[in-house]
């Protein structure tokens, strides 16, 4: 239950961050980079999922070593 909450929190933080970044870039007139920012949430979410898999694997290795 707590992991679901943390995953949801991470997604919300990523969404807020990318919206803020898109707003800043558009304010600076960097509309060319705006399309790159739109792909950022998927890339960050994929990175978070990869880190979660690595963390889970490492944790299981630590438990099996005991």
Q: Which residue has the higher pLDDT, 62 or 36?
A: 62
The CA angle 24-26-29, to the nearest 5 degrees, is 115
| Per-residue pLDDT reduced to its tens digit, 11-27 | 555 566 666 666 666 66
Cβ proximity of 18 and 40 under 8 Å: yes
Q: Which residue has the higher pLDDT, 46 or 39?
A: 46
């Amino acid at each position: 239950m707590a992991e679901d909450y943390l995953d949801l929190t991470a997604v919300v933080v990523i969404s807020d961050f990318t919206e803020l970044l898109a707003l800043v870039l558009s304010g600076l007139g960097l509309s060319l980079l705006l399309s790159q920012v739109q792909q950022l949430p998927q890339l960050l979410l994929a990175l978070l999922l990869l880190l979660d898999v690595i963390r889970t694997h490492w944790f299981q290795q630590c438990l099996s070593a005991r």
